[in-house]
Every structure is written in C-alpha cells, then in structure tokens.
Structure 1
Amino acid sequence: PDWKQPVKGVLFSAHARKQPKPLTPRIGFLLVPQISPAMASFPLASAARSLPTIASHLPAAATTRSVSIPASPVPAAKNAASCSLSTTSRGRPTVRRNAAETYVPGSGKYIAPDYLVKKVSAKQLEELVRGERKVPLIVDFYATWCGPCVLMAQDIETLAVEYEDSALFVKVDTDEEYEFARDMQVRGLPTLYFFSPDQGKDAVRTEGLIPIEMVRNIIENEL
C-alpha cells in the first residue's frame, strides 16, 4: 500500500480554535491514530506518514472524529507559540544555538545537553520504536531556532526527572533529520510522539506547545 496516504485517527482538541491554513502549526492538539487488528503488530502511525522502512504496515486513508480530553488551559505566555517546519523558517535563529542548558523548574539547577533527553537519529529512533520496551517512549521533534521548542524542552526535561524510571524521553533535531521529520508529518514545532510499550496500542501525536499536564495525562492514561 501507499504509505503516504493519511491514516485513520481520533483528533483530541484541548482548545477550541479556528483551524489554521495548511502547513500552519496548530496549538494544543493531538492525533491518536486507530490501527486495524491486522496492523496491531506495529502500532506506529502519524497523521499521514510513518517511519519509511516500516511504512508498509500503515492502513488506508480514513476520516477523523473530535473528542475532548481533560487538560489545563495553555498559559497566556504560551498561547499561539509554535514554529512552522518550512524552508522559510529553517536557518533563521531566534534563540541562541547553544541553548541546551535547560533549567528544570524547582530543581535549582541547569541540565546539560542530552543529560536526560538524549538526541537520536532517524535510524536510532526506528530501532527504539521497533524494539521491545517496558516503558513508554516519548519523542520530541524540535529545532534549536524555535523559541516554543525551548519552552517545551524545559517541560520535557522536568518530566524526564519525574518519570526517570517509568518512561523514556528522546529528541530529534529536525534540521539534522529534515527529510525524516517531513516523512513523519512534522509540520509544526514542537511535535511530540508517544509510543506505548504495548505493541497493540496506537501511537499518539501532539503538535505545538502544550501544557505539561496534558503530557502527563497522555503518559498516564493514553499509553
């Protein structure tokens, strides 16, 4: 089958907002793809594409339905905060390139690059997704020039401390893995993917800056 076709899914909307134009990032939504029993051996799915080497497992196109989930409102400072993964945005730094020392709120310290959230390549991510895991896998697609990605990274680092023994957090630099990010339908930044250790469960995707409470809710209730 054509792996570039959209897949069946469920759209979770945390905020009632007017739908943006194509290729414009959305704030606070997540897509839960639904995979048929025949596809249950590999639950990875995105809004339209998946890992290239395993794309043949994806089902045909279908529609989506809207469902609300409990989540705290996005703080005012974070509203409308996202970046577009487009050729016009890439290469225009809005934050310092070496913004990796991320402060963990409440911890009184800064965390060095890759200390808790390791940066992985497309190949490494595929191995993690396909391999056997006992904990959920959370993947942060980001860019160093994207301000909202830095804010999201702070929450991700906080969660990496909180779920140190019960979840695995990794990140993918979309500048270094641009084609792969496009194949994964990453259009808005930051984009998070959540993979359950249960191979029979679907992957969950969020796009844009979302509240840390929503991330916790997905980890604890959706995976």
Structure 2
Amino acid sequence: MIEILTDENFEEKVQAASVPVLVDFYADWCGPCKMMGPILEMIAEEYQDKLIVAKLNVDQSPKTTMAYQVRSIPYLAILQSGELKNSILGAVSKEEVEQALASAGL
C-alpha cells in the first residue's frame, strides 16, 4: 500500500517511521510520474516489511517540496528518520529503484 503524504502529515509520517520511507514527489499532470506508478506499487508490495512507499503531490505540498529542493519530477527520495539516504531523478526502471534502495542499505 502506498501512503499519501502532505505538508501537514509529512513530518509525522516520515520522522516517526520505524523503517525507511521511499517518497515519490510527483504531480498529476506529469507523464513520467504516471509511468512510475506500477513500479512503485510493485516495490511497495515486495518491500512491505522493510520500507514505506509514499507519494507527495508537489503542487499540493509546496512547503515540503521546497524543503527537499525538488525542482524536477518524478523525484524519488529514500529517507530514514527524515535524513536523505539516496535519491533518483526521472522515470527509471524497477531495477534502478532497487539498486538505489540497496545502496541505501535495504
């Protein structure tokens, strides 16, 4: 299951998470972001005990988007206790997401 994040719940959901969080910064109008949807669903299912997969709409959550200096989407951020461990810019394959997770210690 993919969590939905907002400016209002971001700190609570990400900082308090007992496992790392993969945050997909996206927008509804973004074609490459839509391409990442099925990949993130698979990652969420396969890593469900080790990782939280979440989405944050950049248009609806400008405060968090600016705090993480997101200037281009899709942008995937791997966070642990709110600290950035790794990131991916652009639409990528499932294998590339898994490589980024592995290099972040997952």
1:150 Cα shift?
Answer: 0.4
1:132 Cα shift?
Answer: 4.8
1:180 Cα shift?
Answer: 2.9
Indicate which of 97, 101, 104 corresponds to 1:215: 97
Q: Does 1:167 align with 2:55?
A: no
Distance 2:46 2:17 in 1: 22
Which entry has the higher C-alpha Rg, 1 or 2?
Answer: 1
| Identical-residue share of aligned pairs (%) | 30
Aligned to 1:158: 42
Cα displacement string for residues 111-138 of structure 1 (whole angstroms, at most 9, x for unaligned residues): xxxxx112111232212332251x2210
Q: Which has the higher contact order (CA 8 A, sep 6+)?
A: 2
Q: Decide whether the 8 Å contact of 1:136 with 1:219 is kept in 2.
A: no
Question: RMSD over aligned Cα, in angstroms?
Answer: 2.0
Distance 1:182 1:154, change over 3 A: same
Aligned to 2:61: 177
Indicate which of 138, 161, 169 corresponds to 2:22: 138
Aligned to 1:128: 13
Distance 1:165 1:171, change over 3 A: same
Q: Does 1:203 align with 2:81?
A: no
More helix by percentage: 2
Distance 2:3 2:13 in 1: 12
1:212 Cα shift?
Answer: 1.3
Question: How many aligned residue pairs are there?
Answer: 105
- TM-score, normalised on structure 1? 0.43
Residue identity matched to 1:212: K
Task: Judge which range, 155-164 or 202-211, deviates more.
Answer: 202-211
Gaps of 5+ in 1: 1-115
Aligned to 2:76: 192
Distance 1:183 1:165 in 2: 28
The runs of 4+ residues in structure 1 deviating greater than 3 Å are none
Distance 1:203 1:221, change over 3 A: closer
- TM-score, normalised on structure 2? 0.84
Distance 1:218 1:188 in 2: 18
Distance 2:42 2:12 in 1: 25
Gaps of 5+ in 2: none
